[in-house]
């Protein structure tokens, strides 16, 4: 793999003066898939929206940089960002049914995305749109072009969203929970499609998910987020072999297993992600952590490298790793 195509450096996003994304840093190499995992409310989607400059009105980038092709996306003019968005860097939204325009046909929405960045005649854009639907595995694409989103299944709408996102062959694709609400068969097809397109086009993927099964199938590296911060970073194989943060360990233990005893209750992580207004000076996971100490409550641990390509934000990471070797 070549060097980073996207570098996020100490990115912070604030809402009403409170940081909901707090000092996030990572880099994505060309052709790499980086997964960002965590519960709802941990800041995963907000990170993606900040990269794309699509934050809600109440939110703003309050610090850091997003470096892409030599430009800081956090600081360039909106006209420059508009030229990149959907062209060189694209986003698949979490809910395709609500992201697609119900009053426009599939053809009109694809052609609009194509013409926004690569002006062409209507027939040329229509031919490209048809080819994109065929590329994402939609059967009878000519008929689907004439239909509206409400006439399509959830899986087809997701494929249309992927076709729109990839129409201009972006260098980076952000995928925000791309298989949410899809049945397992369609989910497998969508993931296989994304892997094939990555292989064919060399597109780098930032995959946002809470599904560790999807992470195992798709990712090269993983970032684990909790309450707006990265708490663990590792290559995917290393992360599944041993976890060095209690939150990661508990996430892994909550994944259903085929070899688990019958009728055994699925382990859960007690409590909820704290509100940003309630964050104190200590570790953000302290109230839910089985390894918590007074040190944890008094001082927030920084994200520290503990091995090449491996980092964690835990004062007791060695104890966590040792405990993770014992079956849950």
The full 3-state SS of the chain, as one line of letters, equals CCCEEEEEEEEEEEECCEEEEEEEEEEEECCCEEEEECCCCCCHHHHHHHHHCCCCCCEEEEEEEEEECCEECCCCCHHHHHHHECCCEEEECCCHHHHCCCCCCHHHHHHHHHHHHCCCCHHHHHHHHHHHHHHCCCCCHHHHHCCCHHHCCHHHHHHHHHHHHHCCCCCEEEEECCCCCCCHHHHHHHHHHHHHHHHHHCCEEEEEECCHHHHHHHCCEEEEEECCEEEEEEEHHHHHHCCCCHHHHHHHHCCCCCCCCCCCCCCCCCCCCCCHHHCCCCCCCHHHCCCCCHHHHHCCCCCEEEECCEEECCCCHHHHHHHHCCCC
Comma-separated ranges of CATH 3.40.50.300 domains in the chain: 4-219
Percentage of the chain exceeding pLDDT 70: 97
Q: What is the pLDDT of residue 327?
A: 46
Please classify residue 82 by burial: count the beta carbons closer than 10 Å to its beta carbon, then call 0-12 exposed, 13-18 middle and 19+ buried: middle
Q: How confident is the model at residue 276 (pLDDT cuts 50, 70, 90)?
A: confident
Is residue 183 scored above 80 in pLDDT? no
Q: What is the pLDDT of residue 328?
A: 44
Distance, CA of 34 to CA of 29 (rounded, Å): 9
Is residue 181 scored above 90 in pLDDT? no
Q: How confident is the model at residue 200 (pLDDT cuts 50, 70, 90)?
A: confident
Is residue 257 scored above 60 in pLDDT? yes
Mean pLDDT check: name the lowest of 88-97, 100-109, 139-148, 243-252.
88-97
For residue 61, how far is the Cα from the chain centroid?
Answer: 18
Please give the average per-residue pLDDT across 163-180, as a whole number: 88
CATH architecture for segment(s) 4-219: 3-Layer(aba) Sandwich (3.40)
Q: What is the pLDDT of residue 3?
A: 76
């Amino acid at each position: 793999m070549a060097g980073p195509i996207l570098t996020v450096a100490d990115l912070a996003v604030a809402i009403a003066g409170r940081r909901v994304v707090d000092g996030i840093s990572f880099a994505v190499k060309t052709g790499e898939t980086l997964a960002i995992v965590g519960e709802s409310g941990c800041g995963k989607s907000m990170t993606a929206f900040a990269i794309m400059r699509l934050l809600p009105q109440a939110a703003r980038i309050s610090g850091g940089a997003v470096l892409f092709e030599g430009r800081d996306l956090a600081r360039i003019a909106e006209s420059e960002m508009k030229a990149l968005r959907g062209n060189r860097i694209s986003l698949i939204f979490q809910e395709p049914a609500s992201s697609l325009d119900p009053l426009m046909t599939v053809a009109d929405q694809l052609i609009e995305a194509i013409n926004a960045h690569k002006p062409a005649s209507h027939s040329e854009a229509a031919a490209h749109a048809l080819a994109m639907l065929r590329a994402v595995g939609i059967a009878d694409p000519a008929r689907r072009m004439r239909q509206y989103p409400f006439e399509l299944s959830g899986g087809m709408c997701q494929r249309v969203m992927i076709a729109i996102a990839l129409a201009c062959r972006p260098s980076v694709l952000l995928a925000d929970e791309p298989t949410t609400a899809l049945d397992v068969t369609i989910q497998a097809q969508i993931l296989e499609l994304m892997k094939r397109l990555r292989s064919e086009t060399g597109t780098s993927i930032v995959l946002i998910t809470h599904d560790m099964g999807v992470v195992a199938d798709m990712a090269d590296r993983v970032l684990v987020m909790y309450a707006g911060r990265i708490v663990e970073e590792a290559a995917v194989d290393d992360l599944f072999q041993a976890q060095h943060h209690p939150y990661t360990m508990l996430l892994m233990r909550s994944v259903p297993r085929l070899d688990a005893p019958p009728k055994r209750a699925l382990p859960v992580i007690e409590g909820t992600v704290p509100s940003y207004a309630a964050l104190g000076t200590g570790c953000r996971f302290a109230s839910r952590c089985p390894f918590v100490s007074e040190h944890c409550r008094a001082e927030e641990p920084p994200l520290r490298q503990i091995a090449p390509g491996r980092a964690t934000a835990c004062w007791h990471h060695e104890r966590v790793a040792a405990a993770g070797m014992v079956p849950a």
